[in-house]
Structure 1
Amino acid sequence: MEPSRGAGPAVPPVAAVLPAGGSGERLGGATPKQFCAVQGRPLVSYTVRAMERIDWISNIIVVVSPENIETMKSIIEKYGHKRVTVVKGGITRHRSIFNGLKVFAENEFSSHLLQKPEVVIIHDAVRPFVEEDILSKVVMAAKEHGAAGAIRPLVSTVIASAADGCLDHSLERARYRASEMPQAFLFDIIYEAYQQVTYKRDLYAAESIIKESLSQEVCVITDVKEVVSQVGFLLHESLKSQIKVETISTSLSKNDSHLQNILSGQCYNFVCINDKKCAVQETQQLADMLEKSNIPLLYPVVVVLVHLDTSENISFSIGMEEITRMKKFAKEVKKKNILVYGLLIQYKDHLLLQETVNSAAALIMALIKDRNPELTGQLLVA
């Protein structure tokens, strides 16, 4: 028996999730499609009303982008909509629907958990012309099979292309159907499915957020030599539009109070500039200071060891012995969650120095943002 108005599916109830997080880019206008007025009323209001008039739909979840939450709430108030909960959407439609489901299962997405439905309907917020008969049929089919959706005969011709891009064959339209909204699912099935599908995505998203938070500040350390300090200044100027920069002119062998303050402030990125053939010993002192500060315990610290080549020779002033020593050092401190990269700046043409420093800054930012442990010990050339 199919549900009808006022007497539909028994308890637990049916809920509807309406994703309405589109930006309206395809319309070419500033107003998202769901908020465009039709006869003086926003389109989304018509869709909410189509669900609201069905008594057996207990809760209507409208998922909108963060910037449109207040707009949606004002629409609900203005048109007197009932049984509606507004939820903040995610960065994708997939994430937005998942957020809509979470109001029945996770407290962080609702001030109080709504009663978990047996079946949830998912329907586009911009499609108000949906009949109760269709909704009841997909609900009952979902109760029986776990998932169901509306379909229609194919109208357009669908073609398959060959490897060379030419037409291979067209589908026999009578044998296929187009899938449409509304769709309905047993809540437990769809919620578990979204949890499984989003697991890896959530890991990647979390990793991206962490990397971004660690890439907010860099400490540039130079010695007191004029040529090194000059490069440090130019690098500071090139980096400061992208990241907060603290520049210190000191020897790492000294207990510099400014550096100690930066370490206590949990900085995760360091650039050490020198013109020595091998500065591994001084960099080891920085690594020891970082280890004592416990900064690398939670997240990896990036140290870019910049070698300033001031020789007039065409060949590099840093040889294989120094490169091998740096690789060995990088391998050792990598175990302590300190990622060391080498960067060579050739100071041969004063006129091209700024351009070279800009290239170095771009490489440094890439290393800081990517934090790739596989590149540690490599010598890059700006």
Structure 2
Amino acid sequence: MMSKFVDFNCGVVLPASGTGERMGMCTPKQFCTVLDRPLIVFTISTFHRLPWIKFIIVTVSESCKDMMLQLVTDYNLHKVTVVAGSPTRHRSIYNGIKAVAGVCSAPDVVLIHDAVRIFGEEDLIRDIALAAHKHGASGVTRPLISTVIASDSDGMLTESLDRSQYAASEMPQGFKYHVIKQAYEKSTDFDFDYGTECLLLAKKRRWCESCIVAGKPYLWKVTHKKDLHAAEAMLKEQFLHVAILPTAGQDVLVDTLERQLCTALRSEQVKVTSEIITQSHSEHANTFIHIHSSLPSNRSALNPATHPCGDRLLFDHCHIHVFMLEPTQVSDQHHQLSVHFKQLAIQLKGQHFMVYAVLAQTTESCEAVSAMVKHLVIHRSTALSGQVFLV
């Protein structure tokens, strides 16, 4: 049985030089935004959070190089090296392979992945790396959804393949460093200009057999504009975790809010807790709902930056403060809170925090207050950060 421990130097090459013509947008699809982040940031985070991934090389076109370097700075992507790409996929990957020796003194395995395949579980990535280390090359597949057919020049059916005998090649793929390096060194101009399948290149140019690993349904890539909406929904389903921090006397509101959120999210994504967990584990909360029965005497406590709560690479951490006040207090405090939260949002700019306030009267229904908070949780608009909402 193969060990599940990665005890060798492993890194990633991400070709990201494409123009994304099928997306039909001016922006290359890897830089299209979802949840206020370019897609490529989510893809990089898939590997960046794994301690056994030693380096990530991203190949981009010259026109996007400065943009990519700025993302490296903005999100503290210390494992990432940015190099120039090329017009074709294989040439871009080869540029990344040639850069490997400069960032890792003794690379063993290189994983190749698509910049717009934003999902990946550690177990699968590890299986690909281990299989590549053992066999020389490895890849992941998914069953074909549709039957593949061929037609002649007159548009008439000529062949229909047996779907059970074929599979769709997905990413990531893994290679021993010397295998993929030598495969590219022996490649022809035809390979570079028209090839797309790295496993086939390794087989043709290095006679290296590839171990195939069965993949999972999330192994899809963003191709069309509509896929951006699917990506956002899947990211929220996988990574959005909410902590409700209650206060004495607001049990009905807490119960109502928990119930409403659990109808919109999975129940395991919502927790009622007494404290902010500060570790960076992916299942720890990134959205915090603070329930207040009175105004805090020290308003600096409302600043989320005072809570160094975890990794903000995947999601801006969202803090929603709900103030349940007596009717006579609401009008008096609205302006002051609006000024405070607006200044707070300006202060937090660039730190990957969002902050909102919901100001409600104690006579207001818990259903209405919870509906407002749920909307803020689900839609997570950075443009609205710093706003105070009256219910």
TM-score range, shorter chain: 0.3 to 0.5
Q: With a CA cutoff of 8 Å and minimum separation of 6, indicate the structure with the bigger relative contact order.
A: 2
Normalised TM-score (structure 1): 0.47
TM-score (norm 2): 0.46
Structure index of larger Rg: 1
